[in-house]
Amino acid sequence: MNEYNFAYLDEQTKRMIRRAILKGLAVPGYQVPFASREMPMPYGWGTGGVQVSAATLTPDDVFKVIDQGADDTTNAVSIRKFFEKTAGVATTEETEKATIIQTRHRIPEAPLRADQILVYQVPIPEPLRFLEPRETETRKMHSLQEYGLMHVKLYEDISQHGAISTAYAYPVRVADRYVMDPSPIPKFDNPKLEMDAIQLFGAGREQRIYAVPPHTRVVSLDFEDYPFEASKADHACDLCGAEDSYLDEVITDDAGDRMFVCSDTDYCRSRREAGHQGRLAQEDAA
Amino acid sequence: MIELIDVSKSFTLHNQGGAVIPVMAGASLQVGAGECMALTGASGAGKSTLMRVIYGNYLAASGQVRVGGLDVARAQPREILQLRRETLGYVSQFLRVVPRVPTLEVVAEPLLVQGCERQTALDKAAGLLQRLNIPEPLWRLSPTTFSGGEQQRVNIARGFAHDYPALLLDEPTASLDARNRETVLSLIQEAKARGAAIIGIFHDQEARDRVCSRVVDVTQFAPGAAA
Amino acid sequence: MTPLLQVNGIEKRYGARIGCRDVSFDLYPGEVMGIVGESGSGKSTLLNCLAGHLKPDAGQVIFDTRADGPVDTVTMSEPARRMLGRTDWAFVHQHARDGLRMSVSAGGNIGERLMAVGSRHYGQIRGQALDWLGRVEIAESRVDDRPSAFSGGMQQRLQIARNLVTGPRLVFMDEPTGGLDVSVQARLLDLLRGLVREMGLSAIIVTHDLAVVRLLADRLMVMKDGEVVEAGLTDQVLDDPQHAYTQLLVSSVLQV
């Protein structure tokens, strides 16, 4: 603990980031610019989320990291270790026990509480970017609420695929004001964006922080005749039998056999511990 | 209906040393409703120039050009446009149209721009084309590919589509065969009968004598001649 | 009758250089005005000042809005001006790729303005897109193709459809036929003329092509060195030009 300041970042930087976070909470969905620091990991590995977590952590917090639902992938393990080492905080894989959860591409299946904070890693914070490359123009579009373009993207989806095929990073309107990219979470998770916990979004390379305060209205954009649908694979988890969770498809051999498992590893484990069993649970156990 | 008071016209050629070429001075004339006046004079005497001054195509240097109460020499562009839409028709020697527009539409256009019901306008256009012996299969084609005589007849049909209270006709019977010439002359008679004031240029003396009640020799408006 | 657009003393400078100066005119509903002049004469600068793309250094551009009557668009709030740009105004660029989203299908391009003003029914948006493709003579089967797969003339017609779908009252056009084959130009001119009449549009067309203004414009303004040197009825200005520069311009056109 002598080598680093608590949670790696110096206090002035954390102060700057906290100000950005507070501003983000005050203006839900608005992208607040911040002076993103160089972190000891490459861009794309969660530098934005890590800075937000660092500025949010207190010594009493219990920290959890999710990478696409899992606690045990490289990215999740390395970020968890990073804060174990630089902040000395307790870590956990259990959603229930965590006070701050940094996530990449998922929202946990278990509902979050008011005393928890969810920190998202965001690659590209600007939802209008792929249609309008000019930053000056997208900022103006946000300030004037000129959001027709967002629907052009959905129109294109329907005209090409017969349905809104955008499956992740599905754009939402926050508190009837800003259109926001919820980071690349599956659209299955979109309804969960209205929750009891604080949600913070950090984009390190793009130097933006934004937030959704608890109990904020978050509406997924759609058409009257093509309403939003939170879709998932039409299966139950092969391990825990859950029918309400987001599933990963896993190819199990060269013959094309496959299985569906909960993407949220903690959710799946806790269900199995509670005695739930899926189609392949016996084999797995064996 | 049409009244010119002491109208003069000159061209200033800025790119040829600023040479000023006076072409007309002291032109005064009057044409009332139901009257047809012929302009005469040798080629180059200024007949077409006078017509163009009346139509607002050439800007009069001085004097008044009153058509239906409007002084064309001093009117705003939109007043002249309105005048041309509603009051003053002009059959020039050349057909100028947007390529690709069918003949029937070309003829009906003066009616359509006034908000005339589409079918009524097309019916009237068809009637005129029929009278002027334009074969029906050609109506759907653009007149740009037509022969000179056919273009001339399309131009006439267009000029007579709307019942203008005042009409300018530049050689309406030129290059027409006897049958079509008759049709054009009767169109002019009909226009006179409904009270149109007409000024025309006719090289064809017999035609001129048949429809015109008065003749004005524009040579008298040549600069210097009036003085 | 109230003019649709009243332009008073527009001036735009680029540092010491004059873009355009002392331009004033009124445009009435249904009128089409051409602005001609050589490259650098200030005609495009003027058009951009009128359309709100450039802020003039002096002058007023008063537009007769549907809701509030005549309002100076130079001093109106930016959101209001941008709203005009999506509803009552349209801008047709010389290069279709400046006015189209090249990565969005033809239908999406046409639908964008509808969605921008709040249309949220896919079926209706698509229906209008198909209708407009027909009106600009593009096969309905091309509705899901991207404009990059279209010919230059088709791109330009698509740009026009995209602009006119919200039923604007004033269309700004910057060299709309520039860079097109003559036969394609003719078709476009014919189409524009038809639409102008059908929809009762007013238009301001900047071009250096005198044939284009003769066919499309009722009135003409001739610009040189940032100033209007002559204005009047199109045929009068072309057939009886008064100013030395206009005479030069008219006499420079090759007769076909």
Q: CB-based contact (8 Å) between C253 and chain B? A: no
The model's pLDDT over A42-59, given as tens digits with 9 standing for 90+, comes to 998 999 999 999 999 999
The model's pLDDT over A182-204, given as tens digits with 9 standing for 90+, comes to 999 999 999 999 999 999 999 99
Residue B33: is its pLDDT beyond 60?
yes
Residue C97 corresponds to which tokens in the numbers above? 């790729």
> Which chain C residues contact residue B99 at CB under 8 A?
186, 189-190
The arithmetic mean of pLDDT across residues B50-74, rounded, is 93
Residue B170 corresponds to which tokens in the numbers above? 């530049």
Pairing of strands C202-206, C32-36: parallel
A179 near A143, Cβ under 8 Å? Answer: no
Q: In whole angstroms, how far apart are CA C82 and each of A141, A145, A148, C65, C215?
A: 10, 11, 13, 13, 31
Interface of C with B in 203-232 (CB under 8 A): 214-215, 218-219, 232
Interface of B with C in 62-101 (CB under 8 A): 77-78, 80-81, 96, 98-101
Q: Walk me through the domains of chain A, giving residue ranges and CATH numbers.
A: 11-127+170-220 (3.40.50.11310), 232-277 (no CATH)
Residue C9 is predicted with a pLDDT of: 96
- The answer to whether the CB atoms of C190 and B100 lie below 8 A apart is yes
Residue C255 is predicted with a pLDDT of: 63
Cα(C101)–Cα(C146) distance, rounded to whole angstroms?
Answer: 9
Pairing of strands A208-212, A198-203: antiparallel
C219 near C32, Cβ under 8 Å? Answer: yes
C5 near C61, Cβ under 8 Å? Answer: yes
Residue A286: is its pLDDT beyond 70?
no
Q: CB-based contact (8 Å) between C126 and chain A? A: yes
Residues of A with a catalytic annotation lie at 29, 237, 240, 262, 268
Residue B149: is its pLDDT beyond 50?
yes
Residue B32: is its pLDDT beyond 90?
yes
The model's pLDDT over C82-96, given as tens digits with 9 standing for 90+, comes to 999 989 999 999 998
- Nearest CA-CA partner of C5 in C229, C237, C172, C236: C172
**Residues in CB range of B211: below 8 A, 6 or more apart:** B36, B185, B188, B189, B192, B198, B200, B202
Interface of B with C in 182-221 (CB under 8 A): none
DSSP tally for chain A: helices H, then strands E: 7, 12
Residue C172 is predicted with a pLDDT of: 96
Closest-CA distance of chain C to residue B59, Å: 7
Q: CB-based contact (8 Å) between A151 and chain C? A: yes
Interface of C with B in 8-37 (CB under 8 A): 28, 31
Rg (C-alpha) for chain A, rounded Å, is 19
- The answer to whether the CB atoms of A131 and C104 lie below 8 A apart is yes
The arithmetic mean of pLDDT across residues B20-29, rounded, is 91
- How many other C-beta atoms are found inside a 10 Å radius of the C-beta of residue B4? 26
Pairing of strands C32-36, C219-224: parallel
Interface of A with C in 98-127 (CB under 8 A): none
pLDDT band with cut points at 50, 70 and 90 for residue B225: low
The arithmetic mean of pLDDT across residues B64-77, rounded, is 93
C226 near C210, Cβ under 8 Å? Answer: no
Average pLDDT, chain A: 93
Cα(A249)–Cα(A233) distance, rounded to whole angstroms?
Answer: 8
> Which chain A residues contact residue C116 at CB under 8 A?
146, 148-149
pTM to 2 decimal places: 0.85
C91 near C163, Cβ under 8 Å? Answer: yes
Residue A285 is predicted with a pLDDT of: 47
Residue B155: is its pLDDT beyond 80?
yes
Q: Residues, chain A, total?
A: 286
Secondary structure (3-state) at A130: coil
Average pLDDT, chain C: 92
Task: Provide, rounded to the nearest whole percent, the portion of chain C with pLDDT above 90.
Answer: 74
The arithmetic mean of pLDDT across residues A145-166, rounded, is 92
Of B15, B78, B101, nearest to C247 by CB-CB distance is B15
* Residue position matching structure tokens 């156990």: A285
Residue B98 is predicted with a pLDDT of: 74
> Which chain B residues contact residue C224 at CB under 8 A?
none
The model's pLDDT over C1-55, given as tens digits with 9 standing for 90+, comes to 889 999 999 999 999 999 999 999 999 998 999 999 988 899 999 999 999 999 9
Residue C178 corresponds to which tokens in the numbers above? 């520039």
Of C78, C82, C125, nearest to A155 by CB-CB distance is C125
Residue A13 CA, distance from chain mean position: 23
Residue C181 is predicted with a pLDDT of: 80
Q: Residue C246: closest CA among chain B residues belongs to which residue?
A: B14
Task: Provide, rounded to the nearest whole percent, the portion of chain C with pLDDT above 70.
Answer: 99
Closest-CA distance of chain A to residue C100, Å: 12
The model's pLDDT over B177-219, given as tens digits with 9 standing for 90+, comes to 899 999 999 999 999 999 999 999 998 888 899 999 899 999 9
Q: In whole angstroms, how far apart are CA C125 and each of A156, B124, C116, C119?
A: 12, 38, 11, 7
End-to-end CA separation in angstroms for chain C: 40
**Contacting partners of chain B (3+ CB pairs under 8 A):** C
Closest-CA distance of chain C to residue A219, Å: 14
Of B13, B56, B101, nearest to C233 by CB-CB distance is B56
Residue B226 is predicted with a pLDDT of: 47
Residue B226 CA, distance from chain mean position: 26
Residue B100: is its pLDDT beyond 80?
no
| Packed helices B148-161 and B178-193: angle between N→C axes, nearest 10 degrees | 10
> Which chain C residues contact residue B54 at CB under 8 A?
none
**Contacting partners of chain C (3+ CB pairs under 8 A):** A, B
Looking at this protein, which amino acid is placed at residue A67?
Answer: D
Q: CB-based contact (8 Å) between C142 and chain A? A: no
Residue C226 is predicted with a pLDDT of: 94
The arithmetic mean of pLDDT across residues B8-27, rounded, is 90
Cα(A249)–Cα(A236) distance, rounded to whole angstroms?
Answer: 11
pLDDT band with cut points at 50, 70 and 90 for residue B115: confident
Residue B222 is predicted with a pLDDT of: 87
pLDDT band with cut points at 50, 70 and 90 for residue B227: very low
The arithmetic mean of pLDDT across residues B62-70, rounded, is 93
Rg (C-alpha) for chain C, rounded Å, is 18
Cα(C190)–Cα(C156) distance, rounded to whole angstroms?
Answer: 13
